[in-house]
Chain A
Amino acid sequence: MRVKVRHRIDRLAAKYERAAAEAPAAFQRIVHDNAKDGRDIAKTFARESAGDHGKLYHRAITLGRAETSGFEPVFASPGLAWEFGPEADRPQGGMSFEWGSRNQKPHLDLNRAADVVGPEMGRDVVRLAARLLR
């Protein structure tokens, strides 16, 4: 009797090559989409918490690519670092709503938005990794 054994390591290798090719764009999309959600949630919180005193503040909250210089190499890949928050040069963008002051309690609009999108982004990453390596 003869037993013929054939390995399928080539299929595994092909799967990993495909995953490596797809991963950068897919992870960039996750980072961008969650940062965008964070911006939108923060704007909603800010519109409510700033009240009449800061009725323009929520419009100052924007989304942009984060500076990558100084980040760890893993974040230096294009599109893997986004940030949202108020721009100081926009109307009311420099007001101290986020952390408050001696005369104002902290509003924590950005923190509360990050509380929502942070775990969601973690789940997106887990789901994507599972899909790429399926």
Chain B
Amino acid sequence: MSEELHAAALVASANAALAAGGLTNPTKAYDVDDVPSPRPQNYVEIFVHRRAGGEFRACGWIGTTSWRVTARYVARSVSNARELRRRVTSGWEDIAVTVGGVESTRLVFETSVPIGEDDGYYTGLDSWVYSL
């Protein structure tokens, strides 16, 4: 399954999570090279890559591929960045993503970067890992 398919599936599911409940200002998730210019006031940037190795078992390796996805929440205020984090987390964490018709393992939270000032915006980042 290509990386492009993974990115498309994750961006779509993040956008579904962001849309749930409705925001007064529509806020979207983008792949790293798709953020429009000029940049929106609030947005989420998705980055996905394949990790080394597959799934490790006592008898050796099995043939699944492992992946890491990060989401950077970019907003003009800390509160908005936190809300983006809450929405994406609720749509992803411990939930499988369907890539090219195949369901992954659940996205397992890995680590988090606290929200902080970032070139006039406030941003934070979370990462999750999963296998397919």
Contact = CB atoms under 8 A, between A and B. Distances in A.
Interface of A: 99-103, 105-106, 108, 111-112, 115-116, 119, 122-123, 126
A76 B77 CA distance: 41
Contact of A111 (B58, B68, B118): B68
Contacts of B123: 101-102
Nearest to B33: A105
Interface string B111-132: 0010000110101010100000
B90 to A, nearest CB: 22
A102 B49 CA distance: 18
Interface size class of B (residues with CB under 8 A): 20 to 34
B3 to A, nearest CB: 14
Nearest to B112: A99
Given A100-B70, A102-B119, A108-B68, 13 more contacts: A99-B113, A100-B125, A101-B118, A101-B119, A102-B118, A105-B45, A105-B47, A112-B51, A115-B52, A115-B66, A116-B52, A119-B53, A126-B58
B47 A102 contact: no
A102 B66 CA distance: 26
Contacts of B53: 115-116, 119
A65 to B, nearest CB: 22
A41 B63 CA distance: 24
Contacts of A108: 49, 68, 70
